[in-house]
Structure 1
Amino acid sequence: MGGEVGETAGVGESEYARQRRTLFKILHDLKALGHVFHLVPVPVCALKPAGKSSLVEAVTGVKVPRDDGMCTRCPMECTILSGPAWSCTISLRISPSPDAQYSPVLSRSDDVELWIRRAQATLLCPHLPRHAFKTKNAEEIKAMTEKVEGKNEAVKTVVSDSVVISIEDPAGADLIFVDLPGLVENEDLEVIRLIQNLVTENIKHSSTFILVTLPAVDNIENQKAMRLAKEADPEGKRTIGIVTKPDTVVTGSTDAVKLWTETFAGTGKHKLRLGYYAVRLALDAERKEGISRAELSRRATSFFAANAPWKDIAANRLGLDALVRDVSALLMSVLIRDLPKLMDQVTRLIASTQRALASVPTPPISAKGATAEALDRIVGFCVALSRKVHGRADDRTFVHRTREAYLTMKQAMRRSAPEFWPFECALEQCEREFRRPQELDAVVEEDAACKVMGLVDVRKVIKECTGWELPGHIPFDAKAQLIKGFVDQWEDPSATAFENVARILESVVVELIEDNFGTFPKFKASITALVAAQMKTHAKDCSDALMSSLDHEQIALFTQNVHDLRVGTERWHEHYQWLRYRQESSFRISGKPTAHAPYVTNEPRSPTVAPRGGIYSTDFRRLLPVDEYKDEILVMAEVRAFFHIAYKRIIDHIPTRIQHDFVQKFADGLQGRLLTELAVDAPESLKRFESWMEEDPEIAVTRKRLTERMEKLIHIQTQLEEYSASQ
């Protein structure tokens, strides 16, 4: 393009270009940020070969790759904006990321073709580094991307990511369009399908205008590109036909002359609301000669004026200048109409970018304050942890989750209650309601985990434990063995509760470490290691203490809660005696199940004889003969009563031990331990903290990208507001 400035002033100085170049620059910048606006650009599609590449070269003023076979294998978005001097930049648009500049700023149009080849090859070879093609020539690129049997199998045939060509040209038109891969017929079915899907995806949006190139020598009926355009635009409201190679309609081709005369007049079969344009593009010989764009425009005008059917068609439908002028005006009318929508989209983009930027950690302070910043973060972390475990933070999830863990432990221990039956064998047919009296603590009992033991089973335990006791004395070891049966089952629930609390605490610690040190990888790694070591130490100490507490329940069967033990024993003894001497029919009174088996209470019984006599139904039990299993029933009652005392004790003791010896001791002592381990007063601590306070490079890159994006969006918003106010 160098040396041609001013030679095509008709194109560059169109009404659209003079008044709307600023708006197109805004749209170009928005698309470069990775946002899609379907009202631009204009897709150009055609059946290969149809003069599409020549049209692109004519509009842009630069050469595009031309090879045998398929040349365009990805969308190429071309943006032409007026500028003080000619320049071109090639970028890659890999969704959903913003555009990434690929080439240096090019000042010579002859360099553009090779850089387009390099950029397209980069998209086709995602398995290779992006810089792999930046120094390759055309032949080397072809050798690396040409798919032959057993070679370059990882190279993609077609991709949807785009090569973005940004041109500033003092003599160019302000325009944005997309050059799509040409529709092919003599390729593998998979390739044909991929290209067709790519074209369909780009032309389906109702705000997009479709340019279809049609060779003059071919029948419109045979053009696949036109068929796809009709499917996307059935009423022909947004499709423009561009007739290329008009010189192929020779004198005497009456059918072709008639076809195009009727088509341009709007009386033919293929009517388009936006009509058709005919363009004469550079021939191969003219391209080799390097004919200027101004001379090509003059030759096109002379050709149309001298040859049928073109000489009989309105001049405003002939030539590249007419096409660019009308498409520019058409696009501008749509952009003006949708300007409020565009401004609203920009406002939403600014809001979403602000939210994303707010989620990025603030930049670290200078190295001069590294020690103070590090200490602030350590103290803040420890204080936040202490508040959470003590339940003083606004978020009390830790407390709620640990309480759930302790409740689960309590329920598991409750199921370990011994199941005694005051019969020679376990009577499975008895209803569960009659097994026990109402508990002192009103705890609803779950299904027992222990096996049911009858009188014979308990007698066997007593016999096995009997030594040189005097007659009538029950050996203490018998009770101890039965008590051990349920105490042994408390280790697993205790360990499970401890493990669950440890996991909950660990999740809180990980979250707080991320909040306070996540920006600094080295600092985070060091704090994580120190905290993990402290947690491990406290966990071991607490685990040992828990095992010691459980051992005490087995070694020393002791309680000072004499009253509850006596009352509980009496109740269970009364209950077992009552069940023992009741016949099976007595489980039902008046044909209805009893709610609970009778047992001794402080409430007066209903008398069965005159109250004057003072005799109650329960008094008749004293007339019953002495039970041969009285010792076994007494043992059952004492063990069952002791279970409730020990159970109530342990379900409080274990959580308290975990909370105090592990959770709170770990959290409350962590700050001092960390400061000691980090040796903050040591001379080398400043250098260490400076190293630790180095920010994660990924976070810095993200913050920079979002900050730059925000600045550009605000600038674009200001430009749109100024533009809107000027209209």
Structure 2
Amino acid sequence: MCDVPQQEQIDLLGRPVQKLVELIKELETLGVEAKNLPLPKIVVVGDQSAGKSSLIEGLSGIKVPRSDGTCTRCPLQITLYSAPDDGTAWSCKVSLQQKFSFNPNIDATIQGRYGKWREDHTPTTIPFAVVDDREALAGVISRAQWATLNPGDNPVKYVNADMVESMPMKVEFSPNKVILDITAPGQPSLSFIDLPGVIRQMTTAKDKWLVNLVENFVTDHIKQDNSLILLARSMESDFANSSAAALIDQCDGALSRTVGCLTKPDRWPPGTKTQILQSVLHGDAFAVGHGYFVTKQPDQLQLNNDISSEESRSKEDEFFAQTPWSNELQIFQDRFGTFKLRDALSKKLTHQILITLPKITRTVDAHLLEIETELAGYPDPPENALGKVLEALNVFRASVERHVHGTHPYNEMRNTLKGLANTFERNLHKLRPGLIVATPEGHRQAVNIPTFSLLSDDEDPTGTPCPTVELAELAQGGKKRRGNFNTPALASTSKRIKPDNTTVSKNSSAGNTGKRTFRLLEMRETLGKLTASGVPGEVDPLAVDYLRKETVAGWEPPMLEFITDVKQEIQNILDQLLEEACSQWLNTAFFSEAKKIVKVYIANAMRCQLEYAKRALTLEQRKPFTLNTKGFKLEQDNELQILQEGRTTQRLVEKLDAADRAAGRIMVDQIERKKKAKSDLKARADLGDDPFDQEVRVMAKVRGYHNIALSRFLDHVVHGINNEVLHDLETNLIQQLKAGLEVETGEAHERSKELLAEDREREIHRKELQKERANFIEAQHKLARIGQIGEDV
């Protein structure tokens, strides 16, 4: 056995000893132990049914809950304090220490030593209850343990719960502690941890990981160099089969730090020779570093009769006054009894604390220096962090206002948006309905004109143009009607004809998806199907409206393209302005979060504009409508002039080409022929009535309305961008930023410091280091104040 020098000089009831015990507990709370410095403690281990719970009751003078084994489902840390001699009554403060977090989604079979539990660096202590009635403590402990066995629940839920054992239990075991601080007169200062009993199997396969959890948890505690181990071994069991003892034996150096306690001596098998026990107490068999003590706790009958702590110790004294304890084993009398074990543990723990204090002090000083060095790389945000944030936001606001107003030289965004609007207008104009003014095939044959099909708007079959309306517009002096229109070029005379009898598809013109190009005969057939009147020459207005709706069906793609491009352009400009305003803080959460807020704001604003544009498009596509009588008539008359001019020119070209073929003459250059057809007024007058004049007039109505609707739709969409989105950027964006960044709350100053850190992870780590530094400075102060205790004891 290992004797400790000067132990007998230690005043077990003295205040210096109590302060040493308090110090170690406070250092643990401050997270000192997390820095690979196990603090001195006593850990109580034993197999299930080794009498460990009864031993804990004897040492602490309390009763622990015994229903359904809950007292072994989580560690119980008990600290005994000696009350001053001023009449202070017994009391116990119960709290919960949370050092481990539980994740039920982790696969416990492959994850770590503690399965679904993860250790945090600094423990959190939560007050649970203060108990003044010793008899009521067992129920409070049970409720505290149930709160611990339901991680994630609010502990308050369990403080006053009735029948807690009937409530659900999320986990079978928890490495988090229930802490009891017991103050009572006449008891030595002592602190120990009751660990869950070592188990070998669980009821269900899914809980097998708990066997490893408990074993690893116990092993990790007994491995700690500064800990004393109290091993409970039942005298009714075979010593050689103790799982807890086997764990101690497997850890280097643990056996020398172990105090053995033989329990249940009343159940020592009859006939067992006293010599066996003597060899154990002498240290010749199953030896442990600090030898064995023997204690006798109440049996089940006595427990059922609610035997008091005082009666238990009296019965224990009576037991050891019997044979063989009082005669054959008399030389070991100083090791028989719970109080003798308790006093010895207090002396040994105090000695262990004293010899460890210098190392603890050196470790705290060294780690504090490491923290200070690391914190030097995490400079504090500027003192006036909130002022810096608001200053940058004001710079951004002013820049946005200048670009919204668009005054030179801040007109980049306005000019770009204007260009996108012009592109949108051109794309819509490309979708204006076209009309192939060439005479249909069957009607040509009547005048000996070969049949052909138009392969595309640019092709020039048989050397004779068959223009769409865009080509017909060139009849007016070769000029385009509108500056923004993309008019297909005149067909090249090098193009080849491709005889075919197929009709032109809806989207065959100019490669524009959604564009409708009509043939004269197609127009006639459509009007015939949709007109109910039997009077020749009559056209049903419903037929005209049908054609009008057909021509606006393809407006959605250019609209979506415009909305998307505008959104991206505004986003790019604002990103640039924000980057300029936050140029000093580009690597901070301030810039990254502000950028996200701006992006979301623009996305929401443009989503509203998209809905607005879709509604306008739906109105245009549902039913033709306009009150702009004068504008509509002007557009319709202009379109009719263009169509009739193009149709007349085309008819004359066809007539001249037919005459050349009939006479066997060589075909002339088509461009020259078209010029001649435009200028030969007499030949044009001799053409007579156009058999497709009605179709031409209907197309003029369709195109005239299309121009009116296009202009109205264009204004709707573009106007919404200019008068809503840009206006909101100027008036509401900055407020949205302040709200999103939380710089107008009561915590604005702290929030601004967090925002101006280089990044959120660094700021979080900086705060953790600051908290750790504060804890270790406090630990340093506590160690300095305790410095004289070693001399006192």
What is the TM-score normalised by the length of structure 2? 0.47
Q: Deviations over 1:603-624 (max 9, x none)?
A: xxxxxxxxxxxxxxxxxxxxxx
Q: 1:82, 1:170 within 8 Å by CA — same for their partners in 2?
A: yes
Task: Report the equivalent of 2:279.
Answer: 262
Equivalence map 1:614-653=2 (5 Å): none
AA in 1 matched with 2:146: A
Aligned match of 1:451: none
Distance 1:707-1:284 versus aligned 2 partners, 3 A rule: same
Q: Which residue is equivalent to 1:66?
A: 66
Could you say what secondary structure the match of 2:135 adopts? helix
- Quickly say closer, same or farther: Cα 1:145–1:357, change in 2 above 3 A: farther
Match of 1:305 among 316, 321, 336: 321
Residues 1:105 and 1:363: Cα distance change in structure 2 (over 3 Å): farther
Q: Describe the shift of the 1:331–1:185 C-alpha distance in structure 2 as closer, same or farther (beyond 3 A).
A: same
1:360-509 maps to which residues of 2 (within 5 A)?
375=387, 377-379=389-391, 506=579, 509=582
One-letter code aligned to 1:258: Q
> How far apart, CA to CA, are the structure 2 residues paired with 1:320 and 1:226?
21
Task: Judge conservation of contact 1:74–1:181 (CA < 8 Å) in 2.
Answer: yes
Give SS of 2:167's match: helix
The one-letter code of the counterpart of 1:46 is G
Which residues in structure 2 correspond to 1:315-394 (within 5 Å)?
315-348=333-366, 350-351=368-369, 375=387, 377-379=389-391
Distance 2:157 2:753 in 1: 24
Q: Does 1:231 align with 2:250?
A: yes
Which residue does 2:180 correspond to in 1?
Answer: 165
* Structure 1 counterpart of 2:95, one-letter code: S
Alignment partner, residue 29 of structure 1? 26
Q: Which residue of 2 aligns with 1:693?
A: 748
Contact 1:92 1:102 in 2 (8 A): yes
Query: Is the CA contact (8 Å cut-off) linking 1:278 and 1:318 kept in structure 2?
Result: yes
Aligned partners of 2:44 and 2:230 also within 8 Å? yes
Task: Report the alpha carbon displacement of residue 697 of structure 1 after superposing the two structures with TM.
Answer: 12
Q: How many positions carry a matched residue from both structures?
A: 443
Q: 1:341 offset after TM fit, Å?
A: 1.0
| 2:214 paired with 1:195 | yes
- Whether the aligned pair in 1 keeps the contact of 2:381 and 2:753 (CA below 8 Å) is no
5 Å matches for 1:528-543?
A: 529=598
User: Would you say 1:94 and 2:101 are equivalent positions?
Assistant: no
C-alpha separation between the residues in 2 aligned to 1:323 and 1:144? 37
Equivalent-residue separation in structure 1 for 2:308 and 2:173 (angstroms): 33
What amino acid sits opposite 2:136 in the alignment?
D
How much has 1:221 moved relative to structure 2? Answer: 0.9
- State the alpha-carbon separation in 2 of the partners of residues 375 and 190 from structure 1: 54
Q: 2:130 maps to which residue?
A: 105
SS at structure 2 position matched to 1:209: strand
Is the Cα contact below 8 Å between 1:209 and 1:240 reproduced in 2? Answer: yes
User: In structure 2, the residue corresponding to 1:346 is in which secondary structure?
Assistant: helix
User: Which whole-Å CA distance do the structure 2 matches of 1:697 and 1:69 have between them?
Assistant: 51
Could you tell me whether the CA contact under 8 Å between 2:258 and 2:288 is conserved in 1?
yes
| Distance of 2:61 and 2:209 partners within structure 1 | 33
* Residues 1:210 and 2:220 aligned together: no
Contact 2:24/2:39 (8 A) holds in 1: no
Tell me the CA shift for residue 68 of structure 1: 3.5
Q: CA deviation at 1:56?
A: 0.8
Give the share of equivalent positions with the same residue, in percent.
Answer: 23
Letter matched to residue 341 of structure 1: K
SS in 1 for 2:298: coil
1:489-533, Cα deviation, whole Å (9 max, x unpaired): xxxxxx9xx989968984993872886969xx9xx8699659998
- The one-character-per-residue Cα deviations of 1:429-457 (angstroms, maximum 9, x if unpaired) are xxxxxxxxxxxxxxxxxxxxxxxxxxxxx
Which structure would you say has the larger Rg? 2
Contact 2:45 2:197 in 1 (8 A): yes
CA distance in 1, matches of 2:190, 2:580: 55
Cross-structure match for 1:50: 50
Give distance in 2, aligned partners of 1:697 and 1:45: 50
Deviations 1:402-459 (A, max 9, x none): xxxxxxxxxxxxxxxxxxxxxxxxxxxxxxxxxxxxxxxxxxxxxxxxxxxxxxxxxx
1:447 aligns with none
Q: Verify: 1:716 aligned to 2:778, yes or no.
A: no
Question: 1:346–1:713: 8 Å Cα contact kept in structure 2?
Answer: yes
CA distance in 2 between counterparts of 1:258 and 1:310 reads: 15
Residue 292 of structure 2 corresponds to residue 276 of structure 1: yes
2:153 is the counterpart of 1:128: yes
SS at match of 2:67: coil
Q: What is the root-mean-square deviation in Å for CA atoms of aligned residues?
A: 5.0
- 2: CA distance, partners of 1:364 / 1:276: 62
Which residue of the partner structure matches residue 178 of structure 1?
193
- Whether the 8 Å contact between 2:75 and 2:175 is mirrored in structure 1 is yes
CA distance in 2, matches of 1:713, 1:116: 29
Residue 585 of structure 2 is aligned to residue 512 of structure 1: yes
Which structure 2 residues correspond to residues 541-580 of structure 1 after superposition, within 5 A? none
> How far does residue 175 in structure 1 lie from its aligned partner after superposition?
1.3
Once the two structures are TM-superposed, the CA of residue 238 in structure 1 deviates from its matched residue by 1.4
Q: Distance in 1 between matches of 2:138 and 2:42?
A: 21
Matched, 1:142 2:165: yes
Could you tell me how far 1:361 is from its partner in structure 2?
6.4
Question: Is the 1:24–1:174 contact (alpha carbons within 8 Å) kept by the matching residues of 2?
Answer: yes
Checking the alignment, whether the CA contact within 8 Å between 1:81 and 1:167 is kept in structure 2 is yes
Q: Is the 8 A contact 2:74 2:178 kept in 1?
A: yes
Distance (whole Å) between structure 1 residues aligned to residue 225 and residue 145 of structure 2: 28
Pair 356,99 (structure 1): closer, same or farther in 2 beyond 3 Å = farther
Contact kept in structure 2, 1:261 and 1:309, CA below 8 Å: no
In the TM superposition, residue 383 of structure 1 has moved relative to its aligned partner by 9.6
Distance in structure 1 (CA, Å) of the matches to 2:731 and 2:40: 59
Check the 8 A contact 1:304/1:310 in 2, yes or no: yes
- The answer to whether the Cα contact below 8 Å between 1:381 and 1:513 also exists between their aligned partners in 2 is no
Offset of 1:215 from its aligned partner? 1.3
Q: CA deviation at 1:242?
A: 0.4
Secondary structure of 1:45's aligned partner: strand
Distance in 2 of aligned mates of 1:337 and 1:21: 16
> Cα distance, 1:236 vs. partner?
2.9
Q: CA deviation at 1:718?
A: 2.9
Post-superposition offset of 1:54: 0.7
**Secondary structure of the equivalent of 1:182?**
coil
Name the amino acid aligned to 2:779.
L
What one-letter code is carried by the residue in structure 1 that aligns with 2:19? T
Report the CA distance between 1:182 and its aligned residue: 1.3
SS in 2 for 1:30: helix
1:79 corresponds to: 79
| Conserved 8 A contact 1:70-1:182 | no
Secondary structure class of the residue paired with 2:157: helix
Change (3 A) 1:134 1:506: farther
Letter in 2 for 1:266: G
Asked whether the 8 Å contact 1:278–1:319 carries over to 2, the reply is yes
Q: Which runs of 5+ in 2 are unaligned?
A: 1-8, 100-119, 397-491, 493-567, 606-729, 736-742, 755-762
In structure 2, what residue type is equivalent to 1:169?
A
The separation in 2 between residues aligned to 1:303 and 1:363, in whole angstroms, is 73
How far apart, in 2, do the equivalents of 1:167 and 1:352 lie? Answer: 36
* Cα distance in structure 2, aligned partners of 1:722 and 1:360: 37
- Partners of 1:46 and 1:225 within 8 A in 2: yes
Aligned match of 1:442: none
CA contact (8 A) 1:364 1:693 kept: no
Q: Secondary structure at the match of 1:306?
A: coil
Code of the aligned partner of 1:512: W
Find the aligned partners of 1:504 and 1:59 in 2 and give their Cα distance: 71
SS of equivalent residue, structure 1 residue 98: strand
